[in-house]
Every structure is written in structure tokens, then in C-alpha cells.
Amino acid sequence: MEFAVKVGAPLKQKIGCLILPVYESGKISDQTKKLDAHLATQVLSVIKKGDIEGKISQTFLFHPSLSQSGSSEKFERVLLVGCGKLRTLTDYEYKEIITASTCALKKTHSAEAYSYLAELDVQNRDIAWKIKCATELMRELDYEFTDFKTKKSHTPKIKRLRKFYWMIYNKKELYKSEVALEQAVAISDGVSLTKDLGNTPANICTPSYLAQKAEELAKLHKKGNKISVAILEAKEIKALKMGSFLSVTQGSPEAPKLITLSYRGAKKKEDKPIVLVGKGITFDTGGNSLKPPTSMIGMKFDMCGAATVMGVMHAAASLQLPINIIGVIPSCENIPGGKATRPDDIVTSMSGITIEIANTDAEGRLILCDALTYCERYHPEVVIDIATLTGACIVALGGQASAVMSNYQPLANDLLKAGQTSLDRAWQLPIWEEYQLQLKSPVADLCNIGGPEAGSITAACFLANFTKNFHWAHLDVAGTAARYCGDKKGATGRPVPMLMQYLINKAEK
């Protein structure tokens, strides 16, 4: 399906489904009144009959009758959408309205749709935001993962729609609306890629598979020749002295990979890059510190940080953002075996810092610390790591917000702000020096766990020891990147929207 923005005059347009807001106590918008008198009468009569009250997320579909003047028959269908009382909406209410209208539209056989919902009044949001938010949401509602279904589902898809138009009133807002739409489509494509990778199970989505997908991504964008890929094998990882990363892969027959993707979009090649590091544990059993069976379910999602990096690279390259971005993905599997790391083992990281591994299930930080040290060679402007790092993060913030922790407050602020705009939100946790006390080891420089208190913070504090030479933020996305069980089990594609908003803001500066 294609999206487009159109200004004014719907009556000159072809057949399709017209999507109109209606409000509580029987009100319709002035715009609906202006649209077509005959149609407005019909809408008012539908409301009068009580088929729709106008409460938020109610919908009602009808086939308008022909008018004498021959105008409203141009629309095969009219979908009325309840938008509550005629007043300013919250972000949440707006999303509810878009969701309801999309679900209702899916059930119709429309080939085209013209929606007036982007002109709803949402507090402190402009038309560009409303179109971007609603388009991403519609794409979200259309996502399905059917790669492994032999019978494809018959759930209605908005894909049957050829074209979806956001109707706007003001011609002056057309350009920024179209820019917003283009961004939304690119971000949705990135989100879908991230979801697909996350949802693919670990017997298929191995480190080698991720490496292959990274190469495919570079080929996909070969037109601009702007993405390049390098894949380091175990031998080279060893040569880099990444003893901490390698300790995690020891028990697995799958070969570890260190994948780097580089996107050069800046006018000046030498512009300092923004480096994204993604945790790529393709399956996390816990290793010798084995997880109980129920906690192991959904651990195929432990590479969602890596998938996020790939989704962001894809979206940023599609939009040709004028910045340089490097993605670093340490990827391996964490499983027990005769060669697997034992609790009590001591390893030496690439930085030289020695680590006592008290729990092999705290493996994310072990692969990330070496990847973070590796980032120094890029002289980054900032480094942001994305990781499904701690169960404690799910306890603290649930599925609503990613945790952000940073050694540079302006970077944390930028991410928090990008989260507010994209509604892919984050919440900051502190990483005060005092927490480092919990990571003391009697035998090594650091211990890889910090005890039961403040688990997300001590995980970040562990990483902070390896990021002293650059501005760094850590996103713990354990709660936001996936739902681990139940009906809605699946990758969410978060925090691709937040990071894309951050990069778009950067590119505009």
C-alpha cells in the first residue's frame, strides 16, 4: 500500500472510502459540513439514528446514497470514527482513534481511502507529527510474521488498499507533511526488518545468519554505495584480544561474529560517526548458570539490540540522512557445554580489565564491553548501545519505556526527547559511582554481577568502565524490544523509532 498527502478538495477525487471524524453529542466537524451538504446530512442522520455516539474509537461504516447533484457518489463508503468530545486530544487518544479506524478499514474492501483524521486537534502536535505517528501506527497494525506458516493467514490486511491519502487543509503544510510521511514509511520498513530478525528463531537466526543479513542490507543500498559491511571471525576476534566476548561463545557450536556496518551519509566523509552497538545473543540459555525453563522462553529475542542496529541502518540509508553512522554487532550464542565458561572463571577483556564471571547468565555485558572498547577506533561523536540486558529492567519499567543510562547528560536528554516525539519512550536511571561498589571482585578488577539490588543500573555501571573515552548512552530494552510469551509474543521493533528520531534531529542540526 502506498501513502500520500493531499490538500483540500476531496470531491474531485475518485472512488474510495472516506474517513471522517464524528464527535460526542452528535457533532461533526466544520470540514465535513463544507465537504458536501448532501453527505453531511447523511452523516448527521446516521448519528441521529444512534448508530454511532462519537465516543473515542467507535466506528460506523455506511454506503452513502447518491445525491441529485452527483457529488457524494464518488465515495463508495464512508467510515465514521468517534473522536470523543470536540476538544484537544492527548497522544494516547489520537493513537486509539487511528487504531480503531485502521481496524475498521481493514474489514472493508476499499481500494483507496481518504482520511481526515490527521487534522484532528492533538495537544502540541503539528500536522507533520500527526501524519508520521498515524502512518507508523497503521504499518504497525499491518505487520505479520508468517515466514514459517505453511498456510498464510486470512486476517484482513490493509495491503489490499492501493492508496491511502492523508487529507490536509493547508497547502503551506504540504511539504512538511510529505517529508514526515517519507520518514514514517522508512522507519516502518526499519521496524519491520527489526521485528523479522527478532522473530526468527535461533535455530535459523544464528550469528552467521545475522552476518548474512547485514551483507544483504549493504547490497540493498548499493545504489548509493553508502553501506559497507565487515565481518570478523573467531580468529580475528581472538587477535583483537576480546577475551570477554569469546568467553560467552565457548559453549556453542555456532561461530561467533563481530559485524560492523558503516553508513557514510555526511557531506564530509571525516565527520565523526554516531556509533550504535547492538547486543546480538541469538539465544540465551544462561550458559552454565542455566535459566529455568520458563525464563528461557523468548530468549531468541536476546539479539533484538542487534536487530535494532540493522533496522536503524536500513531506515537511515533509505532516508539518505546526511550523517555518518557505524553499527557494531557482537553476536554469539550463550549455551552450556563441555567447553562453556564456568562460574568463577576469570577472563581478560580487550581493554585489559579482568573480569570474574560469577554468573554466566550476565553475558550481555561480557560481549558488549569488548564491542564498546572496539568503538574507540572510530573516534565516535557518541556511542549508543542497545541491549536486552536485564530482567530487572522489565520489573522497573515494564513494556512502556526503555531505560537510558549515560555518562553524558546532553546525550541522555537528546534520547529522552526523541522518545517523547516518537512515542517510543525512555526513562533515565542513574549510574552514580557509588553503584560501582557492588561490582567489586575479590580476585579480579570487576565482577560481572552486582547482586540483587538495582540490577539494570549495575549492568550499566559495569559497561561504564569501558566507555570512559567517549560520550556514551546505554539503552536497556529488555522490556520494550519484545513480548516474551502469551498471545502477543513477538518483537516490537523498538527502539528503532526513538533512535531514528534522534538521528533525524541530529541530521537537522
CB-closest chain residue to ligand BES: 391
- H and E: helices and strands count for the chain: 15, 21
Q: How many CB atoms within 10 Å of residue 11?
A: 13
CA distances from 349 to 241, 248, 388, 437 (A): 7, 12, 21, 20
The residue within the footprint of Mn ion, chosen from 93, 140, 142, 284 (CB under 5 A), is 284
| Residue 359, contacted partner among Zn ion, Mn ion, ligand BES, none, CB below 5-8 A by kind | ligand BES
Return the number of the residue (180 or 449) whose C-beta is nearest ligand BES.
Answer: 449
**Shortest Cβ 316–Mn ion spacing (Å):** 29
Return the number of the residue (356 or 361) whose C-beta is nearest Mn ion.
Answer: 361
| Residue 156, contacted partner among ligand BES, Zn ion, Mn ion, none, CB below 5-8 A by kind | none
Residues 6+ apart with CB under 8 A from 37: none
In whole angstroms, give the CA distance from residue 262 to residue 327: 6
Return the number of the residue (112 or 302) whose C-beta is nearest Mn ion.
Answer: 302
- Binding site residues, Zn ion, CB under 5 A: 281, 284, 302, 364
| Residue 39, contacted partner among ligand BES, Zn ion, Mn ion, none, CB below 5-8 A by kind | none
In whole angstroms, give the CA distance from residue 164 to residue 31: 19
Task: Assess 333 for contact with Mn ion (CB under 5 A).
Answer: no
DSSP 225-247: T-EEEEEE-HHHHHHTT-HHHHH
How many whole angstroms from its chain centre is CA 464?
24
The strand pairing partners of 41, in sequence order, are none
CA-CA-CA-CA torsion sign (434, 435, 440, 444): negative
Q: How many CB atoms within 10 Å of residue 66?
A: 10
| Residue 478, contacted partner among Zn ion, ligand BES, Mn ion, none, CB below 5-8 A by kind | ligand BES
In whole angstroms, give the CA distance from residue 365 to residue 379: 22
- Binding site residues, ligand BES, CB under 6 A: 284, 302, 359, 361-364, 388-392, 394, 449, 455, 478, 484
- φ, ψ of residue 261 in degrees (nearest 5): -115, 135
CA distances from 313 to 102, 135, 156, 318, 503 (A): 28, 20, 30, 8, 11
**Shortest Cβ 459–ligand BES spacing (Å):** 7
Return the number of the residue (374 or 484) whose C-beta is nearest ligand BES.
Answer: 484
The residue within the footprint of Mn ion, chosen from 93, 356, 361, 476 (CB under 5 A), is 361
Residues involved in catalysis: 291, 365
**Shortest Cβ 387–ligand BES spacing (Å):** 8
Return the number of the residue (364 or 497) whose C-beta is nearest ligand BES.
Answer: 364
CB-closest chain residue to Zn ion: 284
| Residue 93, contacted partner among ligand BES, Zn ion, Mn ion, none, CB below 5-8 A by kind | none
**Shortest Cβ 281–Zn ion spacing (Å):** 5
Q: Point out which span in 57-65, 185-193, 276-284, 401-409 binds Mn ion (CB under 5 A).
A: 276-284
Contact indicator for 131, 185 with CB cutoff of 8 Å: no
| Residue 331, contacted partner among Zn ion, ligand BES, Mn ion, none, CB below 5-8 A by kind | none
**Shortest Cβ 393–ligand BES spacing (Å):** 8
**Which residues in this chain contact Mn ion in the complex, by CB under 5 A?**
284, 361, 363
